[in-house]
């Protein structure tokens, strides 16, 4: 019998399943540009906490953001409620050697005010051989400093190279990439590649840095009208449409966080999806993965 209370049911977000079985909400929260301005800190912390209340418990950050400042904001937001959160952070490629990764991880843990990271991502591919980075991840998993490992901004070729290494994909549970209505290149091969291997993708900049929130876009506006929603909600609902892509919009205003949460409950119809395909055409051939 389903024993969830009505409140829980109202709050329940769809989840994606990582290799190994962990379930994570398909809608999380980004933190790029947080921690840059002390005057904004209070609203950034409040926004992240509001998101947690609404079930958006996957929080994405990076050692790069505001030079550690975003991790500190996240640390403040999750203080006292660490166990509710699925915490994702990223290391610089130059820190992807075994020794440097351990030190980078310790610094991130300190700024985040926790003893473990749930998902640790290589932010983009650099000069360090992938084999060495995998060893670094393995060490940290054994030491229980991180639970899962993954990559970001890896194109299909990079993932293929990883997969050809012995146990190369064993610890890699996701790839975090630029993916939204304006940037659909990943659909050509990266999305199917990950889907086949049951690795949920994490879509960053799902609102194209806010550009997709403009109600004035005729098709987004029209679909939004049909769903009594906003353009931003339709753009997010589109990223979430198949249930195995995780979106991490960044919102430093509580109103935006609430609006984004609402997107996860919108189911786009075939008519909506066809109209979006007309306006934002899917890729017809392979292109290198776009990044920012
Ligand atoms: P985004 O989430 O597409 O857009 C963020 C912008 O949209 C902010 O200006 C935000 O404003 C605005 N916004 C949020 N919700 C809105 C709503 N409902 N209506 C109108 N505007 C809204 O862009 P992003 O920050 O580039 O990407 C999201 C996260 O992905 C980042 O924060 C970061 O965690 C991650 N990321 C990863 C990589 C990588 O290389 N792995 C690269 C880029 C980003 P307010 O802040 O004022 O609410």
Choosing from 63, 249, 260 the residue with most ligand 1 atoms within 8 A of its CB, the one to mutate for a pocket test is 249
Tokens of 79: 């203080």
What is the SS3 assignment for 33?
coil
Q: Is residue 8 predicted with pLDDT exceeding 90?
A: no
Establish whether residue 150 lines the binding site of ligand 1, counting it when its CB lies within 6 angstroms of any ligand atom: no
Q: Is 267 within 8 Å of 238 (Cβ atoms)?
A: no
Q: Is 27 within 8 Å of 57 (Cβ atoms)?
A: no
Task: Report CA(208)–ligand 1 centroid distance (Å).
Answer: 7
pTM (two decimals): 0.96
Q: Is residue 1 predicted with pLDDT exceeding 50?
A: no
What CA–CA distances, in Å, run from 73 to 128, 217, 220, 237, 246?
29, 33, 33, 27, 22
Beta partners for 87? 59
Helices (H), the chain: 6-11, 41-53, 69-78, 98-112, 130-142, 156-164, 190-196, 218-227, 231-239, 254-263, 270-279
Establish whether residue 248 lines the binding site of ligand 1, counting it when its CB lies within 6 angstroms of any ligand atom: yes
Angle at 106 between CA 171 and CA 57, to 5 degrees: 65
Task: Report CA(25)–ligand 1 centroid distance (Å).
Answer: 17
pLDDT digits (tens, 9 = 90+) for 161-212: 999 999 999 999 999 999 999 999 999 999 999 999 999 999 999 999 999 9
Which among 36, 11, 13, 19 has a CA at the least distance from the CA of 175?
Answer: 19
Which among 117, 121, 259, 134 has a CA at the least distance from the CA of 202?
Answer: 121
pLDDT digits (tens, 9 = 90+) for 23-73: 999 999 999 999 999 999 999 999 999 999 999 999 999 999 999 999 999
């Amino acid at each position: 019998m389903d024993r969830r209370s009505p409140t829980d049911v109202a709050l329940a977000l769809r989840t994606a399943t990582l290799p190994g079985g962990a379930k994570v909400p398909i809608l999380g929260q980004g933190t790029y540009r947080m921690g840059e301005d002390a005057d904004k800190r209070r609203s950034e912390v409040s926004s992240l906490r509001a998101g947690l209340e609404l079930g958006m418990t996957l929080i994405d950050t990076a050692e790069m953001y505001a030079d550690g400042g975003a991790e500190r904001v996240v640390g403040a937001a999750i203080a006292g409620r660490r166990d509710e959160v699925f915490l994702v952070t990223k290391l610089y490629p130059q820190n992807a050697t075994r020794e440097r990764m351990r030190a980078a991880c310790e610094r991130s843990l300190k700024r985040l005010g926790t003893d473990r990271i749930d998902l640790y991502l290589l932010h983009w591919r650099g000069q360090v051989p992938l084999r060495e980075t995998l060893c670094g991840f393995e060490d940290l998993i054994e030491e229980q400093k991180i639970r899962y490992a993954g990559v970001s901004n890896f194109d299909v070729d990079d993932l293929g190279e990883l997969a050809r290494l012995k146990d190369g994909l064993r610890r890699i549970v996701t790839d975090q990439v630029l993916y939204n209505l304006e940037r659909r290149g990943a659909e050509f091969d990266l999305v199917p590649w990950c889907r086949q291997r049951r690795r949920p993708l994490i879509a960053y900049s799902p609102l194209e840095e806010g550009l997709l929130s403009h109600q004035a876009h005729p098709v987004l506006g029209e679909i939004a009208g049909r769903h009594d929603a906003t353009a931003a909600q339709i753009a997010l609902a589109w990223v979430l449409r198949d249930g195995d892509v995780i979106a991490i919009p960044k919102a430093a205003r509580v109103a935006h966080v609430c609006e984004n949460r609402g997107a996860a409950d919108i189911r786009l119809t075939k008519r909506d999806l066809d109209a979006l395909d007309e306006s934002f055409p899917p890729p017809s051939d392979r292109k290198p993965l776009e990044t920012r």
